[in-house]
Amino acid sequence: MVLDKNIEQLIVKYENAETTLQEEQQLKNYFSQETVAPHLEVYKPMFTYFLHTQNEEFTKDVPLKSKKTIPLYQWISVAAVAILMFGLYFTQVNTETERTLASLTIEERQDYDQAMEALALLSSNFKKGTDNISTITMVSESLNEGQEKLAYLGEFDNTTDKIIDYQ
Protein backbone atom coordinates (compact mmCIF):
# COMPACT_ATOMS: atom_id res chain seq x y z
CA MET A 1 0.00 0.00 0.00
CA VAL A 2 2.88 2.37 0.81
CA LEU A 3 4.51 1.43 -2.49
CA ASP A 4 1.26 2.24 -4.34
CA LYS A 5 1.10 5.71 -2.75
CA ASN A 6 4.73 6.31 -3.75
CA ILE A 7 3.99 5.17 -7.31
CA GLU A 8 0.91 7.42 -7.46
CA GLN A 9 3.03 10.39 -6.38
CA LEU A 10 5.63 9.51 -9.01
CA ILE A 11 2.91 9.30 -11.70
CA VAL A 12 1.66 12.76 -10.74
CA LYS A 13 5.22 14.08 -10.95
CA TYR A 14 5.69 12.26 -14.29
CA GLU A 15 2.56 13.83 -15.75
CA ASN A 16 3.83 17.27 -14.68
CA ALA A 17 7.27 16.52 -16.22
CA GLU A 18 9.03 16.82 -12.86
CA THR A 19 10.52 13.34 -12.45
CA THR A 20 14.20 12.50 -12.54
CA LEU A 21 15.65 9.66 -14.60
CA GLN A 22 15.87 7.45 -11.49
CA GLU A 23 12.20 8.04 -10.68
CA GLU A 24 11.22 7.21 -14.25
CA GLN A 25 13.26 4.00 -14.00
CA GLN A 26 11.37 3.16 -10.78
CA LEU A 27 8.08 3.59 -12.64
CA LYS A 28 9.27 1.40 -15.53
CA ASN A 29 10.42 -1.30 -13.12
CA TYR A 30 7.15 -1.21 -11.17
CA PHE A 31 5.00 -1.49 -14.28
CA SER A 32 7.13 -4.30 -15.73
CA GLN A 33 6.01 -6.56 -12.86
CA GLU A 34 3.13 -8.93 -13.37
CA THR A 35 1.08 -7.67 -10.43
CA VAL A 36 0.14 -4.02 -10.51
CA ALA A 37 -2.51 -2.25 -8.45
CA PRO A 38 -5.85 -2.44 -10.30
CA HIS A 39 -6.36 1.32 -10.44
CA LEU A 40 -2.88 1.74 -12.02
CA GLU A 41 -3.36 -0.88 -14.76
CA VAL A 42 -3.98 1.84 -17.38
CA TYR A 43 -0.35 3.00 -17.10
CA LYS A 44 1.16 -0.47 -17.53
CA PRO A 45 1.17 -0.61 -21.39
CA MET A 46 2.76 2.82 -21.66
CA PHE A 47 5.64 2.12 -19.28
CA THR A 48 6.31 -1.37 -20.63
CA TYR A 49 6.49 0.16 -24.12
CA PHE A 50 9.02 2.71 -22.86
CA LEU A 51 11.04 -0.08 -21.25
CA HIS A 52 11.21 -2.10 -24.49
CA THR A 53 11.92 0.85 -26.81
CA GLN A 54 14.76 1.99 -24.60
CA ASN A 55 16.93 -0.83 -25.99
CA GLU A 56 16.22 -0.12 -29.66
CA GLU A 57 19.05 1.17 -31.84
CA PHE A 58 19.15 2.71 -35.29
CA THR A 59 21.53 0.67 -37.42
CA LYS A 60 21.28 2.23 -40.88
CA ASP A 61 24.03 4.45 -42.23
CA VAL A 62 23.15 8.09 -42.68
CA PRO A 63 24.81 9.67 -45.73
CA LEU A 64 26.33 13.01 -44.80
CA LYS A 65 27.38 14.19 -48.27
CA SER A 66 24.83 16.13 -50.22
CA LYS A 67 24.35 15.47 -53.89
CA LYS A 68 26.03 17.92 -56.24
CA THR A 69 23.78 20.22 -58.20
CA ILE A 70 23.96 20.18 -61.94
CA PRO A 71 25.81 23.31 -63.18
CA LEU A 72 23.30 23.67 -66.01
CA TYR A 73 20.59 24.69 -63.53
CA GLN A 74 22.91 27.33 -62.07
CA TRP A 75 23.49 28.88 -65.49
CA ILE A 76 19.76 28.79 -66.28
CA SER A 77 19.01 30.71 -63.09
CA VAL A 78 21.73 33.29 -63.91
CA ALA A 79 20.28 33.72 -67.42
CA ALA A 80 16.75 34.13 -66.03
CA VAL A 81 17.90 36.86 -63.65
CA ALA A 82 19.79 38.63 -66.47
CA ILE A 83 16.70 38.58 -68.73
CA LEU A 84 14.54 39.86 -65.90
CA MET A 85 16.90 42.74 -65.16
CA PHE A 86 17.19 43.55 -68.89
CA GLY A 87 13.38 43.68 -69.19
CA LEU A 88 12.99 45.89 -66.14
CA TYR A 89 15.61 48.32 -67.38
CA PHE A 90 14.04 48.79 -70.80
CA THR A 91 10.48 49.13 -69.49
CA GLN A 92 11.62 51.98 -67.25
CA VAL A 93 13.55 53.73 -70.04
CA ASN A 94 10.57 53.76 -72.43
CA THR A 95 8.03 55.21 -69.99
CA GLU A 96 6.42 58.39 -71.21
CA THR A 97 6.29 61.63 -69.29
CA GLU A 98 3.02 62.61 -67.70
CA ARG A 99 0.44 63.93 -70.10
CA THR A 100 -1.62 67.00 -69.36
CA LEU A 101 -5.24 67.61 -70.23
CA ALA A 102 -4.22 70.09 -72.94
CA SER A 103 -2.04 67.51 -74.69
CA LEU A 104 -4.94 65.07 -75.25
CA THR A 105 -6.49 64.63 -78.66
CA ILE A 106 -10.15 65.49 -79.22
CA GLU A 107 -11.19 61.84 -79.06
CA GLU A 108 -9.19 61.25 -75.85
CA ARG A 109 -10.68 64.41 -74.36
CA GLN A 110 -14.22 63.14 -75.10
CA ASP A 111 -13.40 59.79 -73.47
CA TYR A 112 -12.03 61.65 -70.45
CA ASP A 113 -15.19 63.78 -70.13
CA GLN A 114 -17.45 60.71 -70.40
CA ALA A 115 -15.44 58.93 -67.72
CA MET A 116 -15.69 61.96 -65.43
CA GLU A 117 -19.49 62.13 -65.94
CA ALA A 118 -19.83 58.43 -65.12
CA LEU A 119 -17.73 58.83 -61.99
CA ALA A 120 -19.77 61.88 -60.90
CA LEU A 121 -23.00 59.89 -61.34
CA LEU A 122 -21.55 57.01 -59.37
CA SER A 123 -20.43 59.40 -56.64
CA SER A 124 -23.88 60.99 -56.31
CA ASN A 125 -25.51 57.54 -56.07
CA PHE A 126 -23.06 56.54 -53.35
CA LYS A 127 -23.91 59.76 -51.48
CA LYS A 128 -27.64 58.91 -51.64
CA GLY A 129 -26.88 55.41 -50.36
CA THR A 130 -24.88 56.69 -47.39
CA ASP A 131 -27.66 59.17 -46.57
CA ASN A 132 -30.16 56.28 -46.52
CA ILE A 133 -27.86 54.25 -44.30
CA SER A 134 -27.58 57.10 -41.79
CA THR A 135 -31.42 57.33 -41.74
CA ILE A 136 -31.67 53.58 -41.13
CA THR A 137 -29.11 53.90 -38.33
CA MET A 138 -31.22 56.62 -36.66
CA VAL A 139 -34.36 54.46 -36.89
CA SER A 140 -32.46 51.47 -35.48
CA GLU A 141 -31.19 53.54 -32.55
CA SER A 142 -34.73 54.78 -31.84
CA LEU A 143 -36.04 51.22 -31.87
CA ASN A 144 -33.32 50.10 -29.47
CA GLU A 145 -34.16 53.00 -27.15
CA GLY A 146 -37.84 52.03 -27.28
CA GLN A 147 -37.02 48.42 -26.41
CA GLU A 148 -35.01 49.56 -23.37
CA LYS A 149 -37.95 51.71 -22.17
CA LEU A 150 -40.34 48.80 -22.71
CA ALA A 151 -38.10 46.49 -20.67
CA TYR A 152 -38.04 49.10 -17.90
CA LEU A 153 -41.83 49.32 -18.00
CA GLY A 154 -42.04 45.51 -17.76
CA GLU A 155 -39.83 45.56 -14.65
CA PHE A 156 -42.09 48.22 -13.14
CA ASP A 157 -45.13 46.06 -13.88
CA ASN A 158 -43.51 43.02 -12.20
CA THR A 159 -42.70 45.08 -9.12
CA THR A 160 -46.27 46.40 -8.79
CA ASP A 161 -47.59 42.84 -9.18
CA LYS A 162 -45.48 41.81 -6.20
CA ILE A 163 -46.64 44.75 -4.12
CA ILE A 164 -50.32 44.50 -5.05
CA ASP A 165 -51.52 40.92 -5.04
CA TYR A 166 -54.31 40.52 -7.65
CA GLN A 167 -56.66 37.67 -6.90
Every domain of the chain and the residues it spans: 2-53, 122-167
Distances (CA, A) of 147 to 137, 140, 166: 15, 11, 27
Q: Are 35 and 4 in contact (CB under 8 A)?
A: no
pLDDT at res. 159: 64
| Predicted pLDDT of residue 156 | 65
Model pLDDT, residue 144: 79
Q: Walk along the chain (167 residues) and give the pLDDT tens digit of each residue.
A: 567 788 888 888 988 888 888 888 888 888 888 888 888 888 888 888 887 777 778 788 877 776 666 677 788 888 899 888 888 877 765 555 677 777 778 888 888 889 888 888 888 777 776 766 777 777 778 777 878 877 777 776 666 666 666 55
The count of other CB atoms within 10 Å of the CB of residue 30 is 20
| Cβ contacts of 47 within 8 Å, gap of 6 or more | 27, 28, 30, 31, 32
Query: Identity (one letter) of the amino acid at 107?
Result: E
Q: pLDDT at position 166, please?
A: 56
pLDDT given for residue 108 in this prediction: 86
CB 36 within 8 A of CB 69: no
Q: What residues contact 31, with CB distance under 8 A and at least 6 apart?
A: 40, 43, 44, 46, 47, 48, 51
pLDDT of residue 164: 62
User: Left if phi > 0, otherwise alpha if psi is -120 to 50, otherwise beta: which for 61?
Assistant: beta
